[in-house]
Structure 1
């Protein structure tokens, strides 16, 4: 059966167990309190025993809503957020109803759950979380924050009768709560060292964990170009497997005003004169993966009109997002060395600011901050302001500042909040200067909220 045939044979909705919502979770604020009560990894950064057992029990109580729609499942060390958004917009341009589940959020937890690009409303969010609260009692388990969010997303996608859901893995893949779906297409964007406290120490270990989302009957799209890792992916059961630079490739990728000009070729189509309104050469790679994934889903090439429309509607808040001019203010959620290296390359090479270069940086614990700072080229910034991210797992700004000084930075200061760091940078910056906010999506989210209030 082809992916296109599978898509056209949408299954009927599951038989859901009817449960009355808990009184404490019927409004939005109570739903947020319930979620916070279950935030363990979000507060400690620790996972005691990786398992999908809890989420399987929750979904069983709910009537297995994850089986009510088709799925494109996306993982990768970097780029999975952008790739998921590009896939979503290509599917929407094709005329299907699309659910999108992503993490983490920048400013509002509801950002994680969207249908056709619109975030879930407060009432629907509270209703879905209330259903999970009831399922928790019936299943006699204590789910995590991410398990609750994942189950809530699946439930709402079922209620909203989406045709397909683009599901972004939270961490790694094999034991991730999202890995209860049976995907039509499994996507791996790339492999780099990250989450070393849970996997590693080699790229092969990371690849093995991410390969866990490849399932029997699914088409696998592999954006990782390191051929030494390909046997790991091939070892997983699959229907078909497409590799970058073999079945799909970026033929041309160059800087254009406001994004990238692209030429992408796949085994099914040749897509020329494309414009993607995202910054950075790496977004060309993400776009190629996205096109290959959507082609695999439909089992055919895409029309140039669909690709052009889909690309035109792509927006990625917090991923090399320009939020201010004079001074130039850029937000990027790069939080590991591989992502930070790309971030620095785009900032220094593509934007090439003429004035002083000011870095606002914050980070969570659990990673070697010196590796991320080195990849960001911290010593090439004229001013470095280190801040404490708004998370219980945050590394203190003054600790980051000490590391930056040890790396040769001379104009270094620290701030106890992201907001204070932004105010310090704006007060110091001239109209020709450029401010980059990076190091953590938690930092970028807080900065985005604050900067939208204070910038003209």
Structure 2
């Protein structure tokens, strides 16, 4: 297999043949599924000459694990440190329209030509054993390579899945952050909350403070147990942020409270990372994070709630914003999620539901989603649409506000449909 991609055009863009070839190569690794472990990452870093400071000082890493709210908390942390004028890097997942969203420096996505070059370097580094790699490991290596070139002062570093054996768990952080933990990905992380919490707590390091959101009793006990074994101070940030916040929903106020306390912990650990209250408030009043109770227009909300816990929070946020007014719900659920429980939480706010799918092989077929809906509530009107375009057209025929939910993949397709300025990655194996 060749190790290089075709030559780039003079001004590379999303349709650049080299970028397209790099993405085609990258997306073949989705067929490898999820393989937890750190050996591949350590090997890639060694071959690619990626140096990780064992003291965690250059740069400072804020490592964020949890089930729901990771992306929002990371966006808040990134916004706070960027507002101070520090050079920041931000690694997140998944993306809505392009993998470039996952890797940002000072709020700017990794350039197209850097993706092509970086993936080419990963490909060459993995020659002879690339069949062992996963999609997420490759993207994590790309992020590390790009961040090393850009020399950020602070890196906001989001866990992909779990924590202990997640590809991101090769850094020495300044602070670990844990968002609310719920049942999800049980096939990889364990069947109980305690087991899942134990995997998430695998990012804890000796002497590194941990700031956690409020957790259920079993989760809190599991986190405390790991913290005691590792030798780190665990603090639960159980409250709601009271200042101006640009993101809607009470759950975002809890996320902002967590982010604020994580920044305070980082400043206590390292005075050079201290951030004033005024700067924190300025950042949180302006932070943006699409697809999380996002008002695309006054009568249209996009929310990527993809598991029962997130669906429950979405239902509460809807009531906060719309009271008893019900929505026309456009819903898509991935096949590995608990569709019945997601639907159960969203039924009270739904006047009707339009079941649809996305361009992803994991999508639960709309017909099966319709069966789950009618099984729970036979009287709820449930329609089927073949795409977000058809679903939006159908929803526009009703007078109710519209809610698009159930998957960030669906939110990505919805945002691209609503905003022609968005240029998604060329179709690949997504």
TM-score range, shorter chain: 0.7 to 0.9
Match of 1:98 among 73, 83, 88: 88
Distance 1:21 1:162, change over 3 A: farther
Match of 2:132 among 142, 145, 170: 142
Contact residue 58 and residue 139 of structure 1 kept, 8 A = no
Over residues 77-98 of structure 1, what are the superposed CA-to-partner deviations in whole Å (9 max), with x where a residue is unaligned? 1011000000111111222111
How far apart, CA to CA, are the structure 1 residues paired with 2:105 and 2:276? 23
Contact residue 61 and residue 138 of structure 1 kept, 8 A = no
1:373 aligns with 2:355: no
The aligned counterpart of 2:281 is 308
The aligned counterpart of 2:182 is 192
1:289 aligns with 2:275: no
Shift of 1:66: 4.0
Distance 1:228 1:36, change over 3 A: closer
Distance 1:412 1:141, change over 3 A: closer
1:425 aligns with 2:425: no
Distance 1:176 1:190, change over 3 A: same
Contact residue 186 and residue 213 of structure 1 kept, 8 A = yes
Shift of 1:379: 5.0
Contact residue 69 and residue 158 of structure 1 kept, 8 A = no
Contact residue 74 and residue 84 of structure 1 kept, 8 A = yes
Match of 2:42 among 25, 49, 56: 56
Match of 1:444 among 374, 390, 411: 411
How far apart, CA to CA, are the structure 2 residues paired with 1:69 and 1:182? 10
SS at match of 2:369: helix
Match of 2:146 among 156, 164, 171: 156
CA RMSD of aligned residues (A): 2.1
The runs of at least 4 aligned residues of structure 1 exceeding 4 Å deviation read 138-141
SS at match of 1:276: coil
1:33 aligns with 2:33: no
More strand by share: 1
How far apart, CA to CA, are the structure 2 residues paired with 1:98 and 1:83? 15
Point out where structure 1 has 5 or more consecutive residues left out of the alignment: 1-19, 251-261, 264-273
The aligned counterpart of 2:120 is 130
Contact residue 61 and residue 174 of structure 2 kept, 8 A = yes
How far apart, CA to CA, are the structure 1 residues paired with 2:287 and 2:123? 34
The aligned counterpart of 2:428 is none
Please say which of residues 160-169 and 192-201 is displaced more in the overlay. Answer: 192-201
Distance 1:294 1:398, change over 3 A: same
Match of 1:202 among 185, 192, 195: 192
Over residues 334-367 of structure 1, what are the superposed CA-to-partner deviations in whole Å (9 max), with x where a residue is unaligned? 000000001111112322364x520000011112
How far apart, CA to CA, are the structure 1 residues paired with 2:231 and 2:390? 50
Q: Matches of residues 390-429 of structure 1 in structure 2 within 5 Å?
A: 390-408=359-377, 409-426=379-396, 428-429=397-398
Contact residue 315 and residue 349 of structure 2 kept, 8 A = no
1:342 aligns with 2:318: no
Shift of 1:416: 1.8
Distance 1:413 1:289, change over 3 A: same
The aligned counterpart of 2:4 is 22
Normalised to the residue count of structure 1, the TM-score between the two structures is: 0.83
How far apart, CA to CA, are the structure 1 residues paired with 2:251 and 2:186? 23
Q: Matches of residues 63-102 of structure 1 in structure 2 within 5 Å?
A: 63-67=49-53, 69-102=59-92
SS at match of 1:137: coil
SS at match of 1:275: coil
Over residues 125-153 of structure 1, what are the superposed CA-to-partner deviations in whole Å (9 max), with x where a residue is unaligned? 21111111111117665311111100000
SS at match of 1:360: strand
SS at match of 2:189: coil
Over residues 41-83 of structure 1, what are the superposed CA-to-partner deviations in whole Å (9 max), with x where a residue is unaligned? 6xxxx43x52121111111111234445221000111011000
Over residues 396-423 of structure 1, what are the superposed CA-to-partner deviations in whole Å (9 max), with x where a residue is unaligned? 1111111111111431111122222122
Contact residue 379 and residue 407 of structure 1 kept, 8 A = no
How far apart, CA to CA, are the structure 2 residues paired with 1:65 and 1:351? 50
Point out where structure 2 has 5 or more consecutive residues left out of the alignment: 9-17, 422-430
Contact residue 308 and residue 345 of structure 2 kept, 8 A = yes
Match of 1:318 among 278, 285, 291: 291
Shift of 1:307: 1.0
The aligned counterpart of 2:14 is none
Over residues 253-288 of structure 1, what are the superposed CA-to-partner deviations in whole Å (9 max), with x where a residue is unaligned? xxxxxxxxx43xxxxxxxxxx101111111111111
Shift of 1:21: 7.2
How far apart, CA to CA, are the structure 1 residues paired with 2:7 and 2:328? 44
How far apart, CA to CA, are the structure 2 residues paired with 1:22 and 1:197? 36
Contact residue 76 and residue 259 of structure 2 kept, 8 A = yes
How far apart, CA to CA, are the structure 2 residues paired with 1:285 and 1:25? 48
Contact residue 188 and residue 224 of structure 1 kept, 8 A = no
Shift of 1:187: 0.6
